[in-house]
Amino acid sequence: MLELVNMIEASVLKNGITFLSYGKPHKVIKYSHIKMGRGGAIVRVTARNLETGGVVTKTYSSNVKVEDIVTEKRKLKFLYSDGENAYFIDPKTFEQTSILLGVLGDDINFIKGDADVDVLFWGDKPLLADIPPKVVLKVIDTPPGVKGNSASNVYKDATLENGLKVKVPLFINQNDKVKVDTRTGEYIERAKE
The number of folded domains in the chain is 3
Domain assignment present for residue 185? The answer is yes
The confidence score (pLDDT) of residue 140 equals 92
Asked if residue 128 has pLDDT above 60, the reply is: yes
| Cα(128)–Cα(103) distance, integer angstroms | 7
Query: Would you put residue 152 in left (φ > 0), alpha (ψ -120 to 50) or beta?
Result: beta
pLDDT in tens, 104-122: 877 888 887 778 888 888 8
Domain assignment present for residue 41? The answer is yes
Confidence band of 32 (pLDDT split at 50, 70, 90): confident
The confidence score (pLDDT) of residue 2 equals 42
pLDDT in tens, 160-184: 988 889 999 888 889 999 999 887 8
Instruction: State the average pLDDT over residues 148-168.
Output: 80
- Least confident piece of the model among 20-29, 108-117, 144-153: 144-153
| Cα(11)–Cα(14) distance, integer angstroms | 8
> Is there a single domain that holds both residue 118 and residue 139?
no
Which residues does 26 contact at the CB level (< 8 Å), separation at least 6? Answer: 18, 19, 20, 47, 48, 49, 50, 56
The whole domain housing 121 covers: 72-130
Instruction: Quote the pTM value.
Output: 0.68
> Is there a single domain that holds both residue 79 and residue 120?
yes
| Cα(182)–Cα(135) distance, integer angstroms | 7
Domain assignment present for residue 2? The answer is no
Domain assignment present for residue 113? The answer is yes
pLDDT in tens, 57-85: 988 888 888 888 888 889 999 998 888 88
Looking at 88, 109, 130, which one is the last position of a domain?
Answer: 130
The confidence score (pLDDT) of residue 151 equals 57
CATH of the domain at 157: 2.40.50.140
CATH of the domain at 53: 2.30.30.30
β-partners of residue 20 are 25, 67
Looking at 130, 146, 179, which one is the last position of a domain?
Answer: 130
